[in-house]
Amino acid sequence: MLSRASSLWFLALLLVGCKHVPTDKEREGAEIHYELALQAQHAGNVQAAYMELQKSLELNPDYPEAHHVMAILLHLSFNRPEEAIVHYQKALQLRPTFSEAKTNLANVYLSQARYDEAIPLYEQALNDMLYPTPFIAQSNLGWALYKKGDKERALQNIKAAVTINPGFCLGYRNLGTIYEESGELSEACRYLGRYREACPEVADAHLREGACLVKQGKLEEAKQSFTTCEAKATSQNLKDDCHRLLEAL
């Protein structure tokens, strides 16, 4: 006869072995709530999106896409990176080839200065020939390498990213930043000019190019940049910064 302890252990094994498998109806319900979450997210209603994802995962806890979008919300909308990491890791456990999840998990690590964890994830995503937005992983890989002190490889990767996508604003901005911080003013202003050309409606592009032009002594061109920046700024703080720099000239 089994002892009480042995019986409890055997029951626990049975319960683990009897994990609930979602029915077809539950899977369909999970997909419906997932689609509703995407619609709410697109409309900017992140609370509604979060609630729909909760319902989706209650119906199907093994839904990698739902874990992925939940992680994006937790990281970018609610600033809860550690919880986001759990959902990204679950998405990758369920779907190991999920390159978007690898890149976005790496983005969390990048924001936490955990470069050694971020870099291999970006590299894995870039090895996926079907990954639809490789320029994002390539650029962020470059930035992680730069923060680790590998400037040359950083520049190679970010330049590759803007070659793949010539309209990639962040890539040009990061190139301008690296060259500016390295004291290479001419190259910095050139890439910040590319930033402004690719993203003319982004006030920050005009602000950064203007600040670089001031350092080059091109004050009239800088005035035009700050004037445009002030006109296009959508936040009051940015508008005030542009106006202050314009007045200083």
Q: If you average pLDDT over every residue of the chain, what do you get?
A: 93
Does residue 1 have a pLDDT over 50?
no
User: In 122-157, which positions are buried (b, 16+ CB within 10 angstroms) versus exposed (e)?
Assistant: bebbbebeebeebbbbbbbbbbbbbeeebeeebbeb
CATH of domain 166-248: 1.25.40.10
Q: What is the pLDDT of residue 19?
A: 67
Report the pLDDT value the prediction gives residue 162, as an integer from 0 to 100: 97
- pLDDT by residue (tens digit) across 189-235? 999 999 999 999 999 999 999 999 999 999 999 999 999 999 999 99
Q: Output the pLDDT for position 11.
A: 47
Q: b/e string for 40-62 if b means 16 or more Cβ within 10 A?
A: bbeeeebeebbebbebbbebbeb
* Per-residue pLDDT, 75: 98
Q: What's the rounded Cα separation, in Å, for the pair 180 and 111?
A: 21
Summarize pLDDT for 52-76 with one digit per residue, the tens: 999 999 999 999 999 999 999 999 9
Residues 157 and 177 sit within 8 Å (Cβ to Cβ): no
What are the tens digits of pLDDT across the range 117-130? Answer: 999 999 999 999 99
In angstroms, the Cα distances linking 87 to 48, 50, 90 are: 18, 13, 5
* Cα–Cα distance, 209 to 227 (Å, whole number): 12
The amino acid that residue 102 corresponds to is K
Which 3 state secondary structure label does DSSP give 99? helix
Is 243's pLDDT higher than 50? yes
pLDDT for the residue numbered 10: 45
CA distance 211 to 62: 50
- The answer on pLDDT for 9 being more than 90 is no
Which pLDDT score is estimated for 20? 74
* pLDDT single digits (tens) 110-119: 999 999 999 9
Q: What are the sequence ranges of the domains in the chain? A: 166-248
Segment 29-33 mean pLDDT: 97
pLDDT tens string 138-161: 999 999 999 999 999 999 999 999
Cα-only R_g, the chain: 24
